[in-house]
Structure formats: C-alpha cells, structure tokens
Copies of this chain bind each other. A is one copy, B any other.
Amino acid sequence: MNIPEQYSDTISRSELFADIPPDMLADILDRGRRQHIKAGEILFHEGDHADRCYLVLKGRLKLSKLHGQGKEAIIHYVEAGAVIAAVAVFKGKRFPVTARAMGAAEAIGWDRDAIMELISEYAQFAINLLRFAIDRIEELQTRYLELAVEQVERRIARALLRIMRQSGRKTGEGIEIEFKISRQDLADYTGSTLYTVSRTLSNWGKRGWIKSGRQRIVIINPHALVSFSETD
C-alpha cells in the first residue's frame, strides 16, 4: 500500500502515531489495507466477528448499539484520525457496536495478526492504542454520569456542545455542525426521544441560542448553552 499522500496531515496528527518515527510509520501503514466506505454504508456490524481494527482517514462514522424493538443508542461519533474496533486485537471477540459511515469515508484496516506484530515490534504503538481506549473509557464514564443524574434538556445541551467542539465549523451565522444530524439522532445520542429533542431545539431557537433546520444545527450562542447546562 502506498502512503496516502492526501491524508498525510490526518495521519501525522492522529494520536495513533504520536512519537512514532517516520520510517516506522511507513512500515505500519504499509501493513494495513486501505478501504473506502460509501455514504450510509456499514463498515462492521455489532455481533460480527471482529477481525480487523481501523484508523479513520476521512469522513465520519457513527458507532451505535441496538436494543430490541428498534431502539438504538448512539455510542460515539468518530472523526478522521480516530481508531475504532481495537477489540479486534483479541481473538474470538465480536464487535460491540455497529459502525456506519455518515458520508463518504475512508479507513486503513489492520487484521489481527498485523496488529499483534505491530504491538510486539513497536511498543509505542501499543501505548497509543491504549491511549485511544482510555480516552474512550473516560468519555463513556462522563456520558454515563450525565445520563444517570442529569435532566434531558441538560443532556441535550451538553451533547450539542460536545458535538460542536468535535465537528463544528465556523460560519457567518455561528458554529455549524458539519454533518447531517436529525432530531432522532440527537435523541438516540442523549437517551431521549424525537419529540422532546424537537421541542427543546425549538425552544432554544426562539431564544436565539441556535438555528436549526432539517438535519442541520447551527449554534449561535454557545455560552448560553454552557450556562444552561451548568447553572440551576
């Protein structure tokens, strides 16, 4: 595999390659397989045999977990530079979530044997994988706490802010969420419902804090959201 020139920036910025010298980096990339995922396509399904671990090069993926009767929780929105499915490091394990591309996406995948080799050869690689895992644990713990103790509207505010920080783009109006996100998506992400999210966003729109349309949200006044999520 050639080193994908157009993603050299994403790659060098990814925590996965922190403190890894260029020649090792080239070797590591070389042992992976590049993969294209079309918009809406699924990279892997929850429950499938986890045989491969990925670095996201381009685009965004939605990691979600299903529960009977069509209910679903969105576990994580993943950006370029992130590692997913590190679970594939362990033989016999299955993917605990489903990964769906939200737009055209691209990734490098390493199969189990390749990862194991890389870990034994480059200690730093193992540490970097561990870093991703621990960051995920921290985020999950934080969101678990929120879900357990905070009211719905607060959770929605925090979710919006978290997504904004991760995937926000400055525009003339304010900070726009870069990907399509429906009321249902936000509900699945916050453990709420389509209706409650709609009412809440509607309310914030009237107050001028945000502007929202079909699958589109612009945060006009982040500070108002922050103080709403903290005060009272």
Contact = CB atoms under 8 A, between A and B. Distances in A.
Interface of A: 65, 67, 71-73, 75, 86-87, 89-90, 93, 96-97, 116, 119-120, 123, 126-127, 129-131, 133-134, 136-138, 140-145, 147-150, 188, 191
Contacts of A116: 127
B149 A147 contact: no
User: Which of A87, A96, A97, A141 counts the most chain B CB atoms within 10 A?
Assistant: A141
Given A90-B131, A143-B144, 13 more contacts: A67-B145, A67-B149, A72-B149, A86-B134, A90-B134, A93-B134, A96-B141, A97-B141, A119-B123, A119-B126, A123-B126, A126-B126, A148-B188
A23 to B, nearest CB: 18
A174 B123 CA distance: 47
A71 B87 CA distance: 32
A148 B136 CA distance: 18
14 contacts: A67-B145, A67-B150, A72-B149, A75-B141, A89-B131, A90-B134, A96-B137, A97-B141, A116-B127, A119-B126, A126-B130, A130-B133, A140-B141, A143-B144
Contact of A73 (B89, B137, B148): B148
A130 B131 contact: no
Given A126-B123, A130-B133, A133-B130, A138 B89 contact: no
